[in-house]
Amino acid sequence: MSTSLKLPWKLHILFHLIYFIQKLCVRSNGTLNRRLHNLFDLKNPPTKTPKNGVSTSDTVINSSRNLWFRLYTPQGGDNEENSNFPIIIYFHGGGFTFFKADSFAYDNSLELQAVIISVNYRLAPEHKFPSQYEDGFEALKFLDENFDKLSINADPGLCFIAGDSAGGNLAHHVAVKAAKYEFQRVKLIGYLAIQPFFGGEERTEAEKCNSRAPVLTLESTDWFWKAFLPDGSDRDHPAANVFGPKSAVDMSQVEFPETLVFIGGSDILKDWQRRYYEGLKKAGKEVHLVEIPGAFHGSYAFKELKESSLFVKEIKIFMKRILTD
Ligand SMILES: *[C@@H]1O[C@H](CO)[C@@H](O)[C@H](O)[C@H]1NC(C)=O
Ligand SMILES: *[C@@H]1O[C@H](CO)[C@@H](O)[C@H](O)[C@H]1NC(C)=O
């Protein structure tokens, strides 16, 4: 049944439009009409002149697979005296399938006192698991090896890894991979899991109750997993069900950054997100949970919603606490 959320009418129309466009671009044989989707997925060019106090530029990591990132530098970030900005390595959402780092929907600075690196990773179904995780990890390595050349006045020893939805899932797996690697400069000190996309074969209460919630429906989560996971695997694949029956990593043995998990009270994925939080806790990790009551999946990206500013507020508190510890 659909939930009766009170939404501003503009958003109501927008959500229907997003849903309609995604339906339109998905072919019956499981592929995506990428060219058609690109027509709707409007892009923002980088801007040298600061917008809301933030300038942006793009850097290529590997052109042969279109791996690059958009860099957000807050004012003062190109000034020697401010060389201690933390860095947020960010992965956008979109079910591993939609959007790019320069998509209109994601080209947003969150008014954080941090340099943000938003990674443009490969998309499913053209590129399946683990391409996205490889790209995310490659971005960290690139930052580590090229930090001086990038002339970013920030401290690579103060890196947060972050993502929303599928980007939150990506950030988890990249952080696990990073734990086994010796970086020279980069150090992950925090992980922001913003309504991360996790799942499994089981149907949770939230999935049954909110199956036709705004932005993300049960039908679309199933489609996203199918598009992303290797052919023949089910949703208990360890990429989706991190603490499930097929889980491949003993998280208690992984050196993992302090984590903040956001849950939306009306998010279809909230039970999976809570299990993720509980799984980390059981594995002895330092993890915090913030539940935002009215939020449905993706709420934080819509600045019109009062919930959106709550996310930003909590992100600031979490970062500040870690940075001053
Ligand atoms: C799926 O359908 C499209 C359009 O009809 C076609 O171009 C494509 O080759 C098909 N792909 C597969 C894997 O069947
Ligand atoms: C760039 O990506 C291509 C295609 O994935 C890969 O074959 C190549 O090794 C990558 N180059 C570097 C320098 O990592």
Three-state DSSP state, 85: strand
Examine the pLDDT at 217 and tell me if it is beyond 80: yes
Q: Catalytic: 237?
A: no
Q: In angstroms, what is the C-alpha Rg of the chain?
A: 19
Whether 64 is in the pocket of ligand 2, judged by its Cβ within 6 Å, is: yes
Reference 198, options 301, 62, 288, 96; nearest CA is 96
What pLDDT sits at residue 28? 87
Looking at per-residue pLDDT, the higher value among 314 and 17 belongs to 314
- Per the annotation, the verdict on 165 as an active-site residue is yes
Q: Whose CA is nearest to atom 12 of ligand 2?
A: 62
| pLDDT surpasses 60 at 79 | no
- The answer to whether the beta carbons of residues 156 and 143 sit under 8 Å apart is yes
pLDDT above 90 for 263? yes
For residue 277, CA distances in Å to 162, 194, 287, 300, 312 come to 15, 12, 7, 19, 20
Alpha helix (H) residue ranges in the chain: 9-25, 34-40, 131-146, 166-179, 205-209, 218-228, 270-282, 306-324
- Quick one: tokens of 226? 């199918």
User: 227 C-alpha to center of ligand 1: Å?
Assistant: 14
Q: Which long-range contacts (CB under 8 A, 24 or more apart) does 36-40 make?
A: 37/98
Place of tokens 């947060």: 160
- Contact 28 CB / ligand 1 (< 6 Å): no
Residue in 88, 103, 240 with CA at minimum distance from that of residue 163: 88
Nearest to 271 by CA among 202, 225, 192, 172: 202
Q: How confident is the model at residue 6 (pLDDT cuts 50, 70, 90)?
A: low
Beta bridge partners of 289: 261
Query: Which residue, among 75, 238, 103, has the nearest Cα to 169 in the 3D structure?
Result: 238
User: What pLDDT shows up at residue 229?
Assistant: 98
Residue 176 has pLDDT above 70, yes or no: yes
Task: Read off the pTM.
Answer: 0.93
Active-site residue among 107, 109, 297, 308? 297
What is the rounded distance in angstroms from the CA atom of residue 53 to the CA atom of residue 44? 17
